[in-house]
A and B are shown apart, each in its own frame.
Chain A
């Protein structure tokens, strides 16, 4: 009986994946090309895929970091930026850029646009799907570039790699920490919640639903179910038949969601350092609150925005100060697995 149910679920998910791909194909019409440098993409290159809106402040460091890791080419979708993001990106030699003024929310938070681009350009490549406020790190990232990781994953017959999103915050009120574009944001946002994560396994997609961190502690203590999802699967050896289901938290086919061991062992995983709480968030929250583009059920998140607009201090005496990936590994937030 269980096997039958599983087969039925697999069949339903197959159709769901097809729907998502079809939907992405339709949303492709909404994109207008700005610069297309995809002819530079060579066989075996690792790609980045990002949707941005007004991220001029974060982009210099974002690009710098991921270039250094070994991302060879970036696919960007600009969603109606008006702060110079578009111009900045179109000047970058390794960026291909599309733009659209359509709704971010109706594009499943940018996923439809990216899925369309990935199907076209990322087939057969390892692809890192990120937001502009996410900095990807993994065990040994300071000495081993991304190609070392992806090669090793392939040797181990893994097609995807998971990462926990770690909300980084400063000590003191958010707005009191000035930031210069290009700087490492984690000089100031150097604190995080080290051990309050809650995990459930989703029976349908078989991914882990991880919640917790500072946002659950400070903003969603009274309604934990609504706390943001922290588990992501940003790095995938892409195939044009793949599709992310909700943000990069889960994808189809669901075998790609198996970025964890369930036999008691540990497998290698990474971290997304989240620079959401940079000083600019205070102003941006007011805007986001009125745009209502960020959550499926935006009304429920008004209080959350109000708290952010209030410029809170997220720091607690038990916060952990960020030192290095080794520290995160020792704390059990990510794992080397057997990649030593």
Chain B
């Protein structure tokens, strides 16, 4: 047992092992002050089968840990001739199952060495950008304390093409430093005539505690189970996860024999697992895989986060958002101008949430005239325009699980948002260009005002279309001119609805009501006559419109 801190816990665990009849060799880090060490030694002096081995300085990733292990292992093999398996544990390890279960488990497998041991090529365990180079370069500087020197020296060795020779052609293996080896294997490693050569070599390998025994065991073992009996989980930086009180059920579920690292103040864990519950012996195999998902999720959350969430501790720089929003949504431009009841129709046919013009100059027109939406999002135009990006991201985030649709048009405040929309792969943007002219056509304003407004809207929309057609656009954009659209309105509508992908597989049983456009061609011609050429709506014949919608209600189309 390797110990360097939290001696009260180490003592508690040592007593637990000893009570089950396991002899124990303890190594305490040389950095531990003498009074603390002496007190610790004294506290365990009543146990006959506990030895303390020669102390080494154990800094992370250095040879000291291996030297300490070697010393302790030799002492163990010499002093306790009955020992068949040696289990390497640390002071922050906690036995999760009754020790007797472990003893029985090992007794059933007398020739098996449990040690995780994999070649560097086959595993992605890299720290500091080094994998195989751990074994071919030299590392005289501490990675933790002198990172700069460490990095420079690695760079220098790479630059001059330095490579160390690996003795006797052994194949470097790596793995968890917590192993359980048989007397045969362990004594073979320790009494190997070549040991001094290996030791010399591994002294300047980086993190030798994860490769010394893992490599040499391949020379002697008759049967290797390449896995550790100790449950330990690592985060995305290779640092071990710490287990706290609330992990009790999780640890139970894993069925592992031993876990590390345990937070020293996790009273509940220590009480639960060290209390002598001589219950029914389980014969189950350790199964750390059962709890893997939770740790994989933690890595995912730390490295990729929840897409579409902007919050106090996730605020990606441009390009790293992984989507501005968290779910797909639809933007309709011109539809509610062309159709009289587009919003209610859309809501009915798709079962989605359909808003009006969310970016209207007066207020955000939430569905059903609400003034506050999910998450207490206000309809105030000033608040919205203060940070339209946050407004949109929040809206989509707050309503996750329900698809959102909203209307947009050149009258709206979209200038600060259009690029974000265009670059958002979650956006489905459908545009009928020039449809903004319909409300003008129907309005009761003076023609000179209409002309001015039309010119402005045309300019805004034309710039907006440039954005939507730019090569940076990631949204699914569909654009029709108004003339094109009214020629055959059902086909595009069907496509859009299909893409939204709600139930409705049998085609559209009901169609939205199109505005009465008789005289619209003349209206456009009037604008032209005033010197304002409306071009975005496509070609509308002036006098008599051949495609003029029927004066009576359009009959329901059925599009398959």
Contact assessment for B383 and A333 in the assembled complex, using a CB-CB cutoff below 8 Å: no
Shortest CB–CB separation between residue A270 and chain B, in angstroms? 9
* Residues from chain B with Cβ under 8 Å of A33 in the complex: none
A140 beta carbon closer than 8 Å to chain B: yes
- In the bound complex, how far is the Cα of B236 from the Cα of A193, in angstroms? 33
* Residues from chain A with Cβ under 8 Å of B162 in the complex: none
* Residues from chain A with Cβ under 8 Å of B312 in the complex: 162-164, 199, 208, 210, 231, 259-260, 269, 333-334
B436 beta carbon closer than 8 Å to chain A: no
Contact assessment for B313 and A268 in the assembled complex, using a CB-CB cutoff below 8 Å: yes
Contact assessment for B390 and A338 in the assembled complex, using a CB-CB cutoff below 8 Å: no
- How many residue pairs at the A-B interface have CB separations less than 8 Å? 178
A92 beta carbon closer than 8 Å to chain B: no
Find residues 193-217 in chain A having any chain B CB closer than 8 Å to their own CB: 193-201, 208, 210, 212, 214, 216-217
Contact assessment for B313 and A200 in the assembled complex, using a CB-CB cutoff below 8 Å: no
Contact assessment for A263 and B311 in the assembled complex, using a CB-CB cutoff below 8 Å: no
Stretch at the interface among B70-78, B91-99, B298-306, B329-337: B298-306
Shortest CB–CB separation between residue A217 and chain B, in angstroms? 5
Contact assessment for A316 and B314 in the assembled complex, using a CB-CB cutoff below 8 Å: no
Shortest CB–CB separation between residue B277 and chain A, in angstroms? 22
Contact assessment for A148 and B263 in the assembled complex, using a CB-CB cutoff below 8 Å: yes
B26-50 vs A, CB cutoff 8 Å, 1 = contact: the mask equals 0000000000000000000000000
**A192 nearest CB neighbor, chain B only:** B376
- CB within 8 Å for A195 and B375 given contacts A156-B239, A337-B301, A340-B241: yes
B290-318 vs A, CB cutoff 8 Å, 1 = contact: the mask equals 00001101110111111001111111110
Shortest CB–CB separation between residue A306 and chain B, in angstroms? 19
A43 beta carbon closer than 8 Å to chain B: no
Contact assessment for B386 and A225 in the assembled complex, using a CB-CB cutoff below 8 Å: yes
* Residues from chain B with Cβ under 8 Å of A212 in the complex: 390
Shortest CB–CB separation between residue B343 and chain A, in angstroms? 20
Q: Which of B235, B373, B376, B397 has the most CB of A within 10 A?
A: B376
- In the bound complex, how far is the Cα of B235 from the Cα of A209, in angstroms? 30
**A213 nearest CB neighbor, chain B only:** B376
Find residues 366-393 in chain B having any chain A CB closer than 8 Å to their own CB: 372-378, 380, 382-383, 386-387, 390-391
- In the bound complex, how far is the Cα of B363 from the Cα of A222, in angstroms? 12
Find residues 212-239 in chain A having any chain B CB closer than 8 Å to their own CB: 212, 214, 216-217, 221-225, 231
Shortest CB–CB separation between residue B430 and chain A, in angstroms? 27
Q: Which of B309, B312, B372, B374 has the most CB of A within 10 A?
A: B312
Q: Which of A148, A155, A194, A265 has the most CB of B within 10 A?
A: A265
- In the bound complex, how far is the Cα of B127 from the Cα of A98, in angstroms? 49
- In the bound complex, how far is the Cα of B437 from the Cα of A42, in angstroms? 75
Q: Which of A164, A194, A318 has the most CB of B within 10 A?
A: A318
Contact assessment for B375 and A318 in the assembled complex, using a CB-CB cutoff below 8 Å: yes
- CB within 8 Å for A198 and B390 given contacts A144-B245, A316-B376, A318-B372: yes
B145 beta carbon closer than 8 Å to chain A: no
Task: Find B376's partner among A162, A194, A263, A338 (CB 8 Å cutoff).
Answer: A194
| Number of chain A residues close to chain B: CB under 8 A | 59
Contact assessment for B316 and A264 in the assembled complex, using a CB-CB cutoff below 8 Å: yes
**A140 nearest CB neighbor, chain B only:** B246
Contact assessment for B315 and A199 in the assembled complex, using a CB-CB cutoff below 8 Å: yes
Task: Find A261's partner among B263, B314, B376, B383 (CB 8 Å cutoff).
Answer: B314
- In the bound complex, how far is the Cα of B304 from the Cα of A210, in angstroms? 22
A324 beta carbon closer than 8 Å to chain B: no
* Residues from chain A with Cβ under 8 Å of B311 in the complex: 164, 197, 199, 266, 269, 332-335
* Residues from chain B with Cβ under 8 Å of A164 in the complex: 311-312
Contact assessment for B374 and A318 in the assembled complex, using a CB-CB cutoff below 8 Å: yes
B119 beta carbon closer than 8 Å to chain A: no
**B263 nearest CB neighbor, chain A only:** A148
Shortest CB–CB separation between residue B484 and chain A, in angstroms? 39
Contact assessment for B246 and A144 in the assembled complex, using a CB-CB cutoff below 8 Å: yes
- In the bound complex, how far is the Cα of B523 from the Cα of A159, in angstroms? 67
- In the bound complex, how far is the Cα of B117 from the Cα of A151, in angstroms? 31
Shortest CB–CB separation between residue B320 and chain A, in angstroms? 4
Contact assessment for A338 and B380 in the assembled complex, using a CB-CB cutoff below 8 Å: no
Contact assessment for B374 and A261 in the assembled complex, using a CB-CB cutoff below 8 Å: no
Task: Find A221's partner among B235, B246, B304, B383 (CB 8 Å cutoff).
Answer: B383
* Residues from chain B with Cβ under 8 Å of A268 in the complex: 313
Contact assessment for B374 and A143 in the assembled complex, using a CB-CB cutoff below 8 Å: no
B120 beta carbon closer than 8 Å to chain A: no
* Residues from chain B with Cβ under 8 Å of A197 in the complex: 311, 390, 394
Contact assessment for B306 and A266 in the assembled complex, using a CB-CB cutoff below 8 Å: yes
B11 beta carbon closer than 8 Å to chain A: no
Q: Which of A151, A225, A335 has the most CB of B within 10 A?
A: A335
**A263 nearest CB neighbor, chain B only:** B320
A267 beta carbon closer than 8 Å to chain B: yes
A311-340 vs B, CB cutoff 8 Å, 1 = contact: the mask equals 000001111100000000000111111111
* Residues from chain A with Cβ under 8 Å of B377 in the complex: 195-196, 318
Contact assessment for B376 and A224 in the assembled complex, using a CB-CB cutoff below 8 Å: no
Contact assessment for A143 and B245 in the assembled complex, using a CB-CB cutoff below 8 Å: yes
Shortest CB–CB separation between residue B264 and chain A, in angstroms? 10
B221 beta carbon closer than 8 Å to chain A: no
Contact assessment for B265 and A145 in the assembled complex, using a CB-CB cutoff below 8 Å: yes
Find residues 109-153 in chain A having any chain B CB closer than 8 Å to their own CB: 140, 143-145, 147-148, 151-152
B321 beta carbon closer than 8 Å to chain A: yes
Find residues 278-318 in chain A having any chain B CB closer than 8 Å to their own CB: 316-318
B517 beta carbon closer than 8 Å to chain A: no
Contact assessment for B313 and A337 in the assembled complex, using a CB-CB cutoff below 8 Å: yes
B242 beta carbon closer than 8 Å to chain A: yes
Task: Find B301's partner among A269, A319, A336 (CB 8 Å cutoff).
Answer: A336
Find residues 155-191 in chain A having any chain B CB closer than 8 Å to their own CB: 155-156, 162-164
Contact assessment for A262 and B317 in the assembled complex, using a CB-CB cutoff below 8 Å: yes
* Residues from chain B with Cβ under 8 Å of A223 in the complex: 382
Contact assessment for A259 and B387 in the assembled complex, using a CB-CB cutoff below 8 Å: no
- In the bound complex, how far is the Cα of B395 from the Cα of A197, in angstroms? 11
Contact assessment for B314 and A266 in the assembled complex, using a CB-CB cutoff below 8 Å: yes
List 9 other contacts, CB 8 Å, given A217-B378, A224-B383.
A140-B246, A197-B311, A198-B391, A223-B382, A265-B305, A268-B313, A316-B372, A335-B311, A340-B298
Please list the residues of chain B having a beta carbon within 8 angstroms of any beta carbon in chain A. 235-237, 239, 241-242, 244-246, 263, 265, 294-295, 297-299, 301-306, 309-317, 320-322, 372-378, 380, 382-383, 386-387, 390-391, 394, 397-398
Can you list the 7 inter-chain pairs with the closest CB atoms, starting with the nearest?
Answer: A195-B375, A338-B302, A269-B313, A193-B376, A224-B386, A195-B398, A198-B387
